[in-house]
Amino acid sequence: MKHHRRTFLTTAAQGAAVLCATSFGAASSAFANAFANTPKKIELFGHRGAPALRPEHTLASYAKAIIDGADYIEPDLVITNDGVLVARHEAFLSETTDVATRPEFADKKVTKTIDGVTRTGWYVEDFSLAELKTLRAIERLPKVRPHNTQFDGMFQILTWDEIIDFAAASSVTTGKVIGLIPELKHSTYFSSVGLPLEDHFLKSIEAHEYTRRCPLEIQSFEVANLKYLRSVIGRRPNTRLMQLIDQGPVRPADVVATGGSLTFAQMSSAQGLRDVATYADVVAPPNRAIIPWLENGKLGKPTSLVRDAHAAGLLVHTYTFRPENRFIAADFRNDQGDNARNEKGSIAEIRTYLAAGIDGFFSDDSAVARRAISGYV
């Protein structure tokens, strides 16, 4: 990119992307018809890679997800002050990098409110890519996943371009087309500070041969940016747009910013889903919006959301399945403690949601998720 010197990984993987286009060129239908699955295929999304086993949004995490059977890998995209898209859970860097230990960046510590959340710490938009590359990733949930802390400090922050090249190289290595499912984070906020994610994103997917071919599903909790993307890219055979939704009377950040009244609860109604279908291909609710948890932590009865979404012509991709007891419905937990891995329980829970009719899902552990799918279909 114009903004920085490419790393060896990016340069090498870019060559691999060219090789990938050649390797899969004879079978271009594998790309063009990536979403034409017969019989129905349950799609598995490596949520930030495989963060149950490796720190999220690192090369190790993405590689583990691919090895363990993910159909797609998911980067959350934010942006540096020199306009480079990078993968972090959110703009706030304090929980996922070692920035707090770096005295050279002490003066960048600030208090900000983004999407209604106020926190004091370090934010990605106050760093150039060169500065960000000096930081190292750390485990975001060290008390839940202490085994991941052994990898703290090993990995740089990845750019979106590097992730695209890595997916292309992995496709060559594995012989399997690896999809990409990026989420555009804090779009309205970043636009307000002169760093519009969408324009940078559109340039990037046009600049890479791989993103013109591979399955590409673009996510956002906001509405206006998805409508903008639809108006620019239309309906490409390899690209889908995903409307993420939350539960209850919460409003999308762009709706809040413009003084609108639309809530996620309204978007989840039968009419709301028909409205979503005018600009998106997929709706992505949290798991509990499909099968709610009762007061005792057990699963209740499925809602009508999957049925209503399918009636509107939308796919349903839900988030997020995790293999630790604390994240699993009480029906399937074991007695080993909140943070204990419970693969058997996670598999049983996933299959309950598969029975409810979902078309795909995000998982923090692709190996466990793949076992759930393989034993179900």
pLDDT tens across 150-192, in order?
999 999 999 999 999 999 999 999 999 999 999 999 999 999 9
**Residues 77, 201: contact at Cβ < 8 Å?**
yes
DSSP state for residue 357 in the 8-state scheme? T
Residues in Cβ contact with 105 at an 8 Å cutoff, skipping those fewer than 6 apart:
99, 122, 127, 131
Residue with tokens 């809602």: 303
Mean pLDDT of the 215-230 span: 98
CATH of the domain at 81: 3.20.20.190
Does 195 reside within a domain?
yes
Tally DSSP H helices, then E strands, for the chain: 15, 13
Q: Which two tokens stand for residue 196?
A: 């519009």
Mean pLDDT of the 36-53 span: 85
- Which pLDDT value is given to residue 20? 40
Does 352 reside within a domain?
yes
| CA 15/CA 23 separation, integer angstroms | 12
Does 166 reside within a domain?
yes
User: Which of residues 318 and 38 earns the better pLDDT score?
Assistant: 318
Does 23 reside within a domain?
yes
| CA 106/CA 96 separation, integer angstroms | 16
Q: Distance between the two ends of the chain, CA-based, in angstroms?
A: 43
85-87 vs 76-79, strand pairing mode: antiparallel
pLDDT greater than 60 at residue 27: no
| CA 345/CA 324 separation, integer angstroms | 9
Cα torsion angle, 87, 89, 91, 95, sign: negative
Q: 342-372 pLDDT, tens per residue? A: 999 999 999 999 999 999 999 999 999 999 9
| CA 368/CA 343 separation, integer angstroms | 6
User: Which of residues 375 and 84 earns the better pLDDT score?
Assistant: 84
3-state helix, strand, coil split of the chain in percent (to 5) is 40, 15, 45
Q: 90-144 pLDDT, tens per residue? A: 999 999 999 999 999 999 999 999 999 999 999 999 999 999 999 999 999 999 9
Does 335 reside within a domain?
yes
Q: 319 has which bridge partners?
A: 286
Mean pLDDT of the 322-333 span: 98
Torsion angle, alpha carbons of 310, 315, 319, 323, to 10: 90
Reference 44, options 75, 24, 66, 63; nearest CA is 66
- Which pLDDT value is given to residue 1? 41
Range of the domain at 248: 8-89+157-374
- Which pLDDT value is given to residue 39? 54
| Total tally of structural domains belonging to the chain | 1
Does 130 reside within a domain?
no
| CA 342/CA 334 separation, integer angstroms | 7
| CA 22/CA 11 separation, integer angstroms | 17
- Which pLDDT value is given to residue 29? 46
**Residues 50, 96: contact at Cβ < 8 Å?**
no
Per the document, the length of the chain is: 377
Residue type for position 53: L
Does 22 reside within a domain?
yes
**Residues 92, 185: contact at Cβ < 8 Å?**
no
Does 137 reside within a domain?
no
Mean pLDDT of the 290-301 span: 97
Residue with tokens 């129905």: 40
